[in-house]
Structure 1
Amino acid sequence: MSPRRHSVTVTEPVGTDPLWCEEYGYGLGRTDGILVLKYRSAAVLEFGESRQDFLHQLYWSPDGMLSTGHGARTQFVGHREAFWAHRAVTHEVRAADRQTVYRVCLREVPAALGGMRAGAVSVDQEAARLIQAIARPACDEAEALAARARIMAGLGASTADFVGHHATGTGFALTVARALSHDPGDEAGLAEWAERLHVSVKTLQRDFEREFGMPYSKVRTKLRLSTSRVLLESQAVAEVAHRVGYSSPSAFITAFTKEYGCTPGRYAERESRANG
């Protein structure tokens, strides 16, 4: 971070470049400072082989899945989570088209994330709201630094943190949804999840209706299709279908077309053109 106290930079698309980047910095150069980079793009967003030796980084998207990786591990995270990378840890992050991604840079490690090198972390609703609130012009610096403290307090590394941050029901459905977002290809049905959690199928199904307003099968489908959008620009349709849990490419194509109004192949072609 530079020694400036407060900075705002907005980089707009130039020519055919589809990327927007807005930069908001508060208390820069100080231990308690925060830098938020807000990215928006009409095409796939990629942060490939990223490493920062001085700053810890948090990636969060309010409107889609992120594909994340460090070392040999690949993980997907949804809007109730973020991807944390400790400084000096090489990592990759990828988002689908028309997503907004916030990249939060910090000098301090949030208390709940001590000892964590990289991985998915939960973000409570207030922390998510404040990330968006301070990534805007004319935000007061004192207000932003107070928000920073609350953002750090609203992060959690464990499943218990995740459920505690978000559950309105028993928390069983959220536990399953978190696992599915990390691995959408998991083939377990509702009965198997109920057995794993030592609850009845009826209890788990009711919790899905309470938390999401829809049954388990629909939640799983939406997670799988949302994840597929992150993968299609770089992987073949058949490979993506298998990766997100479909038994055949044709089943995947049917579900994708019903959800998004075009085939995955057409979608991938469009994204390839948008990325030049």
Structure 2
Amino acid sequence: MEAGERFDEHEHDLHQLAWVRDGVLMVSIGDRHWMLPPTLALWIPAHTPHASSAMRTAAHMQGIYLPASMLPGWRDPTVVGVPPLLRELIDHLCRDDLTASARDAAERLVPELLEPAQTFTVDVPLPRDERAVKIAEALSADPGDERDLAAWGRAVGASTRTLSRIFAAETGMGFAQWRSRLRLRASLAHLADGESVSRTAALVGFSSASAYIAAFGQLTGMTPGAYFERMSEMAELQHVVADQRRNDGPGVTYGD
């Protein structure tokens, strides 16, 4: 997928495990948006409408599809860690030369490797009014756009008061809060792609790194650096626990 390339909302009759080998993938389901670096994948249950897009750089997507009868208990979208063995299995299932029996055998291994990962989504409810939708689309494309609500009103043909009322009624938050939430969501792709906190803050429109860190902390309870360090630690821990479970066999339980 080229940078910014998007697959509009669609659904599959099969379960999908959405993953990118490199780059950052955003998957959107309703008002929820997941940023997925190569260490994470998203389990998308069959018949779940979703959209996906590559973020600021190109991404090599390798989604796999699994029978709808598999993992009946996994009814909700779920982020999972991607340990080396799962990465190799995804590569194997992406081959075109597998026989039906070889593919079936490989697919049956996938559930053994799926471990839910601790992460969070930055939910950005979208307005429905066509004037506010134009603003949301423009800021999604360029979250660093500094225009205030009065300037946006002139651009879309609405008063500041009207737009303020629309955002409050249709998103549950004021315009400034909504835009900050949108910018925080956009920042995850930059951080996951290796940008510094100060550079990320500037790219998504925060006035300073400290303002960005404060907004990030208010939403997540931690700094951007601590969040991504924790995600890496949790992914590594989940890989270790998954390996231990496979080595020990059934009947062994592990605490959180």
**TM-score for both structures, normalised by structure 2:** 0.49
Q: Which structure is larger by alpha-carbon Rg, 1 or 2? A: 2
TM-score by length of 1: 0.46
Bigger share in strand: 1
Of Structure 1 and Structure 2, the greater helix share is in 2
